[in-house]
């Protein structure tokens, strides 16, 4: 008599295995999730250990002079800015506008002479520990404590000759006056310009022609202005008086110091 083959497991065993499936799936899912999470945590720690180029809590100063050796940029503390295509800050800037800082790394430049909404994004970055300003289309700028020295700087200030004096101001204006006896115009003023070592004075009045002078540095390091009428130099700096020690008053007779009073010893 043939017997039917017995099943390898009973319905009871099937129920037990089915009950274990969710637990096994959860364990396998936990293993699959924990491994990437651990790797992400390690990567995040490594990233957090990398120091930032700039401290968000202490934004670096950006107002002042910036130069890349070709262009020159000035960011004023009041939010205005100017850009020159040379290092000569006395020339007319090619771009004028307003700047606004968006965070500790970025700020925007908005020119006035173009359509509204045009902005240039500027980024601060570090190069060998030195702060640089990156603007698209230009070589990176570096901050300067003072503007670059140019020949026009040597022309500023007061100039004197035997019978005349000249004042050249940093704002682009000048004043000239006759100091000795003369007839005709004794003073005039106007704007000045420079190209290399040549200073040009353009008077406001049409009664005076344009005047040109050459700024020459002598062997002693001193500068002179050579004009058609002669030479002008910077006035000498008057030496400041040296403080001297106070002298005793001779009007009163000197009094000899008195001897200390004798004291009686206490027994």
**Which tens digit of pLDDT belongs to each residue from 219-229?**
999 999 998 88
The answer to whether 157 and 144 are in contact (CB under 8 A) is no
Q: Does domain 151-233 have CATH number 2.40.128.290?
A: yes
pLDDT digit string, tens, across residues 52-72: 676 777 778 899 999 999 999
Share of the chain above pLDDT 70, in %: 67
* H/E segment holding residue 106: strand 106-111
CA-based nearest residue to 62, from 51, 73, 50: 73
Lowest mean pLDDT among 39-53, 64-78, 159-173: 39-53
Its pTM stands at: 0.65
On average, the pLDDT of the chain sits at 80
Q: d(Cα 217, Cα 225) in Å, to the nearest integer?
A: 9
Domain ranges of the chain: 64-144, 151-233
Rounded distance between C-alpha atoms, residue 165 and residue 234, angstroms: 10
Beta pairing class for 72-75 and 173-178: unpaired
Instruction: Report how far residue 90's alpha carbon sits from residue 72's, in angstroms, rounded to the nearest whole number.
Output: 11
pLDDT the model gives residue 189: 97
């Amino acid at each position: 008599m043939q017997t039917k083959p017995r099943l390898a497991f009973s319905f009871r065993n099937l129920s037990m295995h089915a009950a274990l499936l969710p637990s096994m799936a959860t364990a396998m899912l936990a293993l699959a999730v924990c491994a990437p999470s651990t790797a992400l945590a390690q990567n995040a720690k490594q990233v957090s250990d990398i120091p930032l180029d700039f401290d968000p809590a202490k934004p670096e100063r950006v107002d002042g002079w910036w130069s890349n050796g070709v262009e020159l940029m000035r960011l004023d503390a009041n939010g205005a800015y100017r850009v020159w295509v040379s290092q000569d800050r006395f020339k007319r800037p090619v771009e004028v506008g307003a700047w606004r800082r968006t965070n500790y790394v970025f700020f925007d430049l908005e020119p006035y002479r173009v359509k509204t909404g045009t902005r240039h994004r500027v980024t601060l970055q570090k190069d060998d520990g030195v702060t640089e300003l990156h603007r698209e289309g230009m070589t990176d700028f570096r901050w300067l404590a003072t503007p670059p020295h140019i020949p026009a700087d040597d022309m500023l200030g007061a100039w004197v000759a035997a019978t005349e004096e000249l004042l050249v101001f940093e704002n682009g204006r000048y004043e000239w006056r006759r100091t000795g006896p003369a007839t005709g115009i004794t003073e005039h003023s106007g704007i000045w310009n420079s190209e290399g070592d040549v200073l040009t004075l353009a008077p406001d009045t049409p009664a005076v022609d344009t005047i040109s002078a050459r700024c020459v540095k002598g062997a002693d390091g001193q500068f002179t202005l050579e004009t058609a009428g002669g030479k002008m130099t910077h006035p000498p700096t008057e030496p400041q008086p040296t403080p001297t020690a106070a002298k005793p008053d001779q009007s009163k007779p000197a009094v000899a110091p008195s001897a200390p009073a004798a004291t009686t010893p206490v027994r």
